[in-house]
Structure 1
Amino acid sequence: MTRAVRFHETGGPEVLRLDEVDVPAPGPGEVRIRQSASGVNFTDIYSRSGLYPAPLPSIPGREGVGVVTALGPGVTGWSVGERVSYASVTGSYAEERNLPAASLIRVPDGIDDVTAAAVTLRGLTAAVLVTDVHPVGPDSVVLVHAAAGGVGLILSQWASALGATVIGTVSTEAKAGIARLHCAGVLVAPGAELPARFREATGGRRASVVYDAVGRDTFALSLDCLAPLGHMVVYGQSSGHIAPIAPQELGERGSLTLTRPRLPDYMADADRRAARAAALFGRIADGTIAVRAEHRYPLERAADAHRDLEGRRTTGSVVLTMDQR
């Protein structure tokens, strides 16, 4: 038996409860890991609230880090005792778990467990966004919403390192101080003035790409920030579902493109996953990307972690730490 946080019904943070659950022997192609930390993301909140369907009862969480303790039948290339992380495999709010060996990522010695838990999903998301979804370079003008958040902070640093002009939005002046370390300009709660303030910050230039994890509250205004042939990338929806848009409207706005990328689709290829992970950990090691993971909670306080993340009281990454008894 091991401790895990589950929800038996959908709802607010109060539905999360600490349970004792059984972890069977790993099946074919699986490994068992003893976890030290788990990332907390908005996707966990979407599952808990019912926005994303999940079986009941369900263990939330889609990224974690730990040590391999057992190998299932047919597993090769991995050894007991190796330190690993993973992303986009549900069930990380637990001290022990099984998961597909194909999802594992080796964690370099220079990356500590909390950092790995803080960046595996968020950092791979950022890597995919600037490399695969919309390649960013010195000529790019980039708008990043929630630029002091878990993904936004990494994304802003990565795009800036690639030479792009990055303008970020944040909800408070306190968060602006963090975002200004990595963005050419920061807009605090711009609201309906977003397009005008964005053009002011860029000297009249429009965005080549918008990376938006907010959704409903920012979508229409973000379209007004894009240059002709610009790319609208919606990778989250913390403010709610986006209203449908007619393809014709994208054409009338300047032949814009719109995408809703999902990390598992981009990480399905093992070689790509390994390359993006190596790039991520390399940028952390060389200081190009600084990781903020001050918001740490023990496993039994998962509900508090959700409350603070939903209430926008956090910056950077939110991490649950396990009590390895």
Structure 2
Amino acid sequence: MQQQRVRIYENGAPSVMKYETSAAIAGGPGNGQVKLVHEAIGVNFVDTLFRSGAFGVSLPFDMGVEGAGVVESVGDGVQGWKSGDRAAYFFTPGAYSNMRLIDAGVLVKLPDDIASDVAASLLTKGLTAWMLIKRVHVVKPGDIVLVHGAAGGVGSLVAQWAKSLGATVIATVGSPSKAQGVRNRGIDHVLVTDDPEFLETVNAITGGRGVDAVYEFVGKATFALSAAVLRSGGTLAHVGNASGAPAADDKAGLPGRGIRYVQPATSQYVGERSSLDEASTDVFAAYRAGVFGTIEPTRYALSDVVRAHEDIASRSLVGPAILIP
């Protein structure tokens, strides 16, 4: 079987992605590697940043950072893995392919009850959510947190997980059409960011004390609101800029109010084997407990990857998306 992959030779719109046949893995896995046959591939917002050039990468670049599948063969020096084992991984470029060679050290063993489509929908986003609510701001009962972009893949997980830990969650969406979907996931306070009474509504929910933490996935369009609703001494976790980078003036008043402003990266918190195992175990346990509800990704054929990115750009997706080889 030949490798089918998605590669970019230039940065730009979704159309720059090329679905092509490659003989790059014909030699089989090298030392420390396994050959993994993908069953499902995660589509993440960061993929669009690599493709567009917002995050610089060396070209040509093999697209995709997350996948799940079955180990076909193992190379020399690999311990703990054998043919037939199920595995998933996050943030390792080259995922947009039907099969690949990959360092065994980055793989997470999939429990029997975690399907590959769930793993590809959940692992990267779930690890990011874990970082945010278990490390960046440790959510505890009685906290009030604001989650921007709560209809998105990571935002929805953060909102649901924080609520399960006893927090009052205020979720925001970009349009009224997305609000009901977030409410259906059990979030009581769902606001549209351009609501002219946004600040008054948040003030009423918090009793005037402000929120303890804001999880900021949107950036320019919501950052001023984030700063306005945070209590002094709170945490502003700035994870994404779906609407563009915020203006410098929006950040200017944060230090004077003792606000902890952080821009965390998931790899900083799960870069070690022990932390990756702990975090992935927690994510799968939360899924089993029903914290995230039913994972129902939007599915695209691997060859239809351009449409998947176009749908992300139009912000028409609600929840995760995966590619099926």
TM-score (norm 1): 0.94
Q: Distance in 2 between matches of 1:109 and 1:130?
A: 26
Which residue does the alignment assign to 1:269? 272
Q: How many residues align?
A: 321
Distance 1:247 1:177, change over 3 A: closer
Cα-Cα RMSD: 1.7
Match of 2:232 in 1: 228
Which residue does 1:197 correspond to in 2?
201
Q: What is the CA deviation profile of residues 130-182 of structure 1, one whole-angstrom value per residue up to 9, with x for unaligned ones? A: 00111001121100011111011111110000000000001222311121133
1:79–1:43 CA distance, 2 compared to 1 (3 A):
same
- AA of the residue aligned to 1:240: G
Contact 1:60 1:93 in 2 (8 A): yes
Is 1:26 aligned to 2:41, yes or no? no
Aligned letter for 2:181?
I
Contact 1:291-1:316 within 8 A present in 2 as well:
no
C-alpha displacement of 1:192: 6.4
Q: Name the counterpart of 2:159.
A: 156
For the 8 Å contact 2:121–2:297, the answer to whether it is kept is: no
Q: Which segment drifts farther, 239-248 or 171-180?
A: 239-248
**1:302/1:320 contact within 8 Å kept:** yes
User: 1: distance between equivalents of 2:10 and 2:195?
Assistant: 35
Aligned ranges 1:301-312 → 2 under 5 Å: 301-312=304-315
Question: Shift of the alpha carbon at 1:111?
Answer: 1.4
Secondary structure of 1:319's aligned partner: strand
Q: Does 1:41 align with 2:44?
A: yes
Deviation at 1:279, TM superposition (A): 1.1
1:76 aligns with 2:113: no
State the match for 2:12 in structure 1.
11
Does residue 295 of structure 1 match 2:301?
A: no
Percent identity of the aligned residues? Answer: 36
1:272-283 mapped onto 2 (5 Å cutoff): 272-283=275-286
| TM value normalised by structure 2 | 0.94
Q: Which runs of 4+ in 1 moved over 4 A?
A: 245-248
After TM superposition, give the deviation of residue 191 of structure 1 in Å.
Answer: 5.7
Distance 2:189 2:175 in 1: 14
Amino acid of the structure 1 residue aligned with 2:141: P
* Conservation of the 8 A alpha-carbon contact between 2:30 and 2:75: yes
The residue number in structure 2 matching 1:210 is 214
Is 1:192–1:221's contact at 8 Å kept on the other side of the alignment? no
C-alpha change, 1:246 and 1:196, in structure 2 (3 Å) is: closer
Q: In the TM superposition, what whole-angstrom CA distance separates every residue of 1:216-266 from its partner, at most 9, and x where no partner exists? A: 2211221111001010001111111233369863222x2001111111111
Structure 1: runs of 5+ lacking an equivalent? none
Could you tell me how far 1:193 is from its partner in structure 2? 4.9
Report the alpha carbon displacement of residue 10 of structure 1 after superposing the two structures with TM: 0.6
TM-superposed CA distance for 1:51, in Å, is: 0.2
CA distance in 2, matches of 1:241, 1:90: 24
Unaligned runs of 5+ in 2: none
- The residue correspondences of 1:175-190 to structure 2 (distance < 5 A) are 175-180=178-183, 181-190=185-194
